Structure 1
Amino acid sequence: MSTQARGLEALVASSQEPGGATRVVAVTSGKGGVGKSTLSANIAYVLAQKGFKVGIMDADIGLANLDVMFNVRAAKTILHVLKGEATFEEIVVQLGENLWLIPGESGDEILKFSDATIVSRFLDEAQALENLDFLIIDTGAGIGDTIQMFLRAADDVVVVTVPDPAAITDAYAMVKVVSKERDEIEMVINQVKNPKEGEKIFETIRKVAQGNIGENLHLKLLGSVRSDDYVARSVKQRVLVCKELANIAPAHDIEKIAVALGNKKEHKMLEARNEGGIGTFFKKLLGQF
């Protein structure tokens, strides 16, 4: 397991491929228990394996979920950087080739910091992360204000749900809230029997959204992930499905989702519509932009 002391060395030393800043992808859900953290961790891993430089940050409850996914426990978080008690170099943990954990903190705590001097120093520190191609944000579940803060600041929002009536209802509620801030939202339907079930659930949500929110909303199905008992076991065993069980159906499904995100970033680069980057993300997050 890598130490935080070595966390940023490889990232700072690496040269970013030309053509675009960090793309910030917030993965969220209307309710808990839909596999959001498992998806976030595995998507980040696959993107890293594809050669992208990827950071992953837990923006919900510290390291509780990502600790399970990566078997990493970090002593300090972004909150310590804001307080001036640590640098980004001290908190970032390298998880593997091209993959770094940025230990997060709840939005409630981050919102307390609005002092211009503190924010300016924090943004200077954050420049160390500019070589990332992706920052995957694993947000909390629900439509609370602090969660929305992360969703507003991100370049992309991915809403995760499962084939459960309550989860689908909550996912639609999340889409409705997010649509007030952006007109493009992506979805992943997790734990489906087959891809057709995922498409059917998505179409149901899309039609309701189209009828109630309006034609300007572009709701896109990023992919569906098939259900498999091995996924639940992998969480308990602290292993990544896409790393240790790459041949099972859910791993293939997650890889397709990761590839779609990678292709989207490259497409944006070709269109010369670069992302705002880490600096812009944190400025929005801290209410400075």
Structure 2
Amino acid sequence: MYSNVSLQASKLVELANGVKKNSYRTKLITITSGKGGVGKSTITSNLAFLLSKKGYKVAVLDADIGLANLQVLFDVKPRNSFFDYIEGKSRLEDTITKTSYENIYLFAGISSFEYSSFKNSFVFSNFIKDILALDSFDFLLVDTGAGLNDYVKEFLAISDNIVAITSTDPSALTDVYALIKMLSLNKSKLMLCFNHTKSYQIGETISNSLITLGKKNSLKADFMVKYLGNISSCTNVATTSRLRKIFANEFANDEVTLQMELVLRSLLLNIG
């Protein structure tokens, strides 16, 4: 007899396979981090902007349950959150918020609220499938919360294109290695982007060290860690976020924007 945990895992695998078997136009990319405060949401919003500048229609889902802040970064006031759809209070189309940036749309969450009633109910996985089934977007970027709680695991389970944002901070690296160990059980790869990291080579060296450590600890042999690139520290990134602006738009020719462009280029080459 299966335990509850086994049944939940089986259900997640079933949901993930449902996404794989359908030929959705929309490419699903899940952006996560082990540790909070590494700039995950800021990078998500900037990658969405850079994709939109290439002519792609981009949806962003604020999946940081209870700590949503992408509506602040995009400077919008959504009429509905995606929880209104989950709770049956609105249509899916009514939870889509058009931002002031061409081709960028937000599925907003709500901050400072407890969603324990949804725990282990798989409503989030099904919500992702409903967005994909709209066939309205080229990309769906899912910005998860930090850590590896049940909500984050559900968003990770349904995606084959997972990007972890980390830094050289020892605690951040410990957390991202825990993420690698977990994903290696059922996934084929994890993509890594280093934030607040001075050079491409530093991130590359640490990524290789994580790969070597994984091999020593007998992680699945065919699991791959793909290094996407680095983003340097820049005070203007934090400043533009506080002003509710997108850095890559305000500082299009800055070195950090170029680094983000290179990360995006590598990401596009590695997604399935």
Range of TM-score over shorter length: 0.7 to 0.9
Whether 1:256 aligns to 2:262 is yes
Whether 1:197 aligns to 2:202 is yes
Residues 48-81 of structure 1 deviation map (CA, whole Å, 9 limit, x = unaligned): 1111111001101357320221111223222211
**CA–CA separation in structure 2 for the residues paired with 1:190 and 1:155:** 22
- What SS is found at the alignment partner of 1:192? coil
Whether 1:76 aligns to 2:80 is yes
How does the TM-score come out when normalised to structure 2?
0.81
1:86 partner amino acid: S
* Alignment map for 1:173-212 (pairs within 5 Å): 173-212=178-217
* Alignment map for 1:60-75 (pairs within 5 Å): 60-61=64-65, 64-75=68-79
**CA–CA separation in structure 1 for the residues paired with 2:130 and 2:181:** 35
Unaligned ranges ≥5, structure 1: 1-18, 269-289
Give % identity.
Answer: 33
**CA–CA separation in structure 2 for the residues paired with 1:224 and 1:44:** 17
Whether 1:142 aligns to 2:151 is no
- Larger relative CO (CA 8 A, sep 6+): 1 or 2? 1
Task: Please name the residue that 2:170 is paired with.
Answer: 165
Residues 132-185 of structure 1 deviation map (CA, whole Å, 9 limit, x = unaligned): 111000001111121010001113111111111111111111111122220211
Deviation at 1:123, TM superposition (A): 8.7
Q: 1:229 aligns with which of 227, 235, 253?
A: 235
Deviation at 1:193, TM superposition (A): 1.2
Give the 3 Å change call, closer, same or farther, for CA 113–236 of structure 1 in structure 2.
same
* Alignment map for 1:1-289 (pairs within 5 Å): 21-61=25-65, 64-95=68-99, 96-104=101-109, 108-111=116-119, 126=131, 129-212=134-217, 213-264=219-270, 268=272
- What SS is found at the alignment partner of 1:32? coil
**CA–CA separation in structure 2 for the residues paired with 1:196 and 1:232:** 24
Deviation at 1:109, TM superposition (A): 5.0
Moved more, 127-136 or 203-212: 127-136
- What SS is found at the alignment partner of 2:209? helix
**CA–CA separation in structure 2 for the residues paired with 1:114 and 1:259:** 32
CA-based RMSD:
2.5
- Tell me the matched-pair count: 244
Unaligned ranges ≥5, structure 2: 1-22
Task: Please name the residue that 1:10 is paired with.
Answer: none
